[in-house]
């Protein structure tokens, strides 16, 4: 009983801190008849969590989370603790002042992997002319896949294209023995936010040219516009073994430049290179069009299974499926 309550509290804590969509949270497994002490513990692990106190997640999310929690507690407990209602009122008082705020924090925690990542992200999916100022479900699914399959990246140089906030690369740095992660994006705004988030999480680490050395692993950042990959100045001693890309296959006008960049990097390594592409399947036709284009450039791809929900380290919205492709090129 205590074990299942602790598991529920911890899951809810992780989901709250990374703003996991409320419709994806399994509220049905909430333990019934929580005592006042247990309700207080639940609030301390979520809204009163020190990370949220210091770097708050979206206020509107906190308010809706508490609304939903109160509904559940009123249904399943004899009495709801005052602290729950009080925290709702105090969050509500901050709503008006928060509406002008364009950014909020998300905290991605995973005790089993000793991972803790805090990102400042845009509250809108599209801002400053880019979709990359917030982390998308495909990058979370890809990071989870790699956290379960670290042998793919251990000892390797990893290049991430269209990295947005840099979430996937930063998780990789924490959970694997990767040699060098180079996170890139074509948008200058993304690059600036990525730099800020890297500094936020690894600012205490030793610095090197364009980045940091974290436990002997390198993390560097660069602007890389796919169509201008031939102008890229590569970091010293970096030679791509694996390319990563998440949620970059949605706009077919960008397909030619993306395949051009992939081909360019593969050619630099005489095809001794691999790629993992995570795609959110919003439109099967668009995705297939990209896969067909890859085939026409002699790439081969294999579908890999995303981590099932009961085994995942991180949480993402699974309403729209994510597919992960392993891409190689054999002549």
Ligand X SMILES: C[S@@+](CC[C@H](N)C(=O)[O-])C[C@H]1O[C@@H](n2cnc3c(N)ncnc32)[C@H](O)[C@@H]1O
Q: Which residues contribute to the site for ligand X (CB under 6 A)?
A: 130-132, 135-136, 138-139, 162-164, 167, 185-187, 190, 225-227, 246-248, 254, 257
Question: Can you tell me which residue has the tokens 């668009």?
Answer: 286
Question: Shortest approach of ligand X to residue 98 CB, angstroms?
Answer: 23
Of the pair 46, 139, the CB lying nearest ligand X is at: 139
By C-beta, is 22 or 259 nearer to ligand X?
259
Q: What is the helix (H) or strand (E) element at residue 244, kind and residue range?
A: strand 242-246
Minimal distance, residue 180 CB to ligand X, in Å: 19
Name the minimum Å distance from CB 283 to ligand X: 14
Q: CB atoms < 10 A from the CB of 70, how many?
A: 15
- CA dist 115 and 17 (Å) reads 13
Q: How far is the CB of 33 from ligand X (least distance, A)?
A: 40
Q: Which residue spans within 42-201 are E strands per DSSP? A: 103-110, 115-122, 157-161, 180-185
List the one residue out of 115, 107, 242, 111 whose CA is nearest residue 171. Answer: 115
Q: How far is the CB of 294 from ligand X (least distance, A)?
A: 16
Can you state the angle between helices 255-268 and 284-296, rounded to 10 degrees?
Answer: 40
Nearer to ligand X, 226 or 325 (CB): 226
Using DSSP, state whether 295 is helix, strand or coil: helix
Which of 296, 301, 200 minimizes the C-alpha distance to 255?
Answer: 296
CB-wise, 84 or 219, nearer to ligand X? 219
Provide, rounded to whole angstroms, the least separation between the CB of residue 163 and ligand X. 5
Give 45's DSSP letter: H
- For ligand X, the closer of residues 67 and 289 by Cβ is 289
**For residue 185, what are the β-bridge partners?**
223
Secondary structure (DSSP) of 171-182: HHHHHS-BSEEE
Name the residue nearer to ligand X (CB basis): 190 or 243: 190
């Amino acid at each position: 009983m205590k074990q299942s309550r602790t598991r529920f509290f911890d899951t809810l804590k992780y989901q709250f801190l990374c703003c996991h969509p409320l419709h994806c949270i399994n509220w049905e497994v909430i333990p019934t008849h929580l005592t006042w002490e247990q309700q207080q513990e639940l609030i301390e692990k979520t809204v009163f969590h020190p990370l949220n106190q210091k770097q708050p997640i979206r206020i509107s999310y906190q308010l809706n989370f508490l609304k939903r929690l109160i509904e559940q507690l009123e249904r399943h407990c004899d009495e709801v603790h005052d602290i729950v209602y009080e925290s709702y009122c105090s969050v509500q008082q901050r709503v008006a002042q928060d509406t002008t705020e364009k950014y909020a924090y998300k905290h991605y925690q995973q005790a089993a992997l000793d991972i803790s990542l805090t990102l400042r992200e845009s509250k809108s999916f599209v801002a400053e002319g880019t979709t990359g100022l917030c982390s998308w479900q495909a990058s979370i699914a890809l990071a989870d896949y790699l956290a379960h399959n670290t042998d793919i990246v251990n000892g390797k140089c990893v290049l991430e294209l269209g990295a947005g906030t840099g979430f996937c690369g930063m998780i990789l740095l924490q959970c694997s023995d990767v040699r060098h992660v180079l996170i890139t994006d074509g948008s200058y705004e993304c690059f600036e936010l990525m730099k800020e988030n890297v500094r936020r999480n690894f600012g205490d680490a030793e610095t090197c040219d364009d980045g940091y050395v974290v436990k002997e692993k390198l993390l560097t950042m660069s602007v890389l516009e796919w169509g201008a990959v031939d102008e890229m100045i590569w970091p010293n001693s970096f030679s791509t073994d694996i390319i990563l890309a998440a949620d970059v296959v949605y706009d077919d006008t960008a397909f030619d430049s993306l395949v051009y960049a992939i081909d360019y990097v593969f050619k630099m390594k005489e095809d001794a290179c691999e790629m993992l592409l995570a795609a959110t399947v919003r439109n099967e036709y668009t995705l297939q069009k990209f896969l067909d284009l890859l085939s026409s450039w002699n790439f081969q791809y294999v579908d890999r299974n995303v981590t099932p929900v009961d085994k995942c380290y991180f949480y993402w919205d699974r309403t729209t499926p994510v597919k992960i492709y392993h891409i190689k090129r054999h002549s």
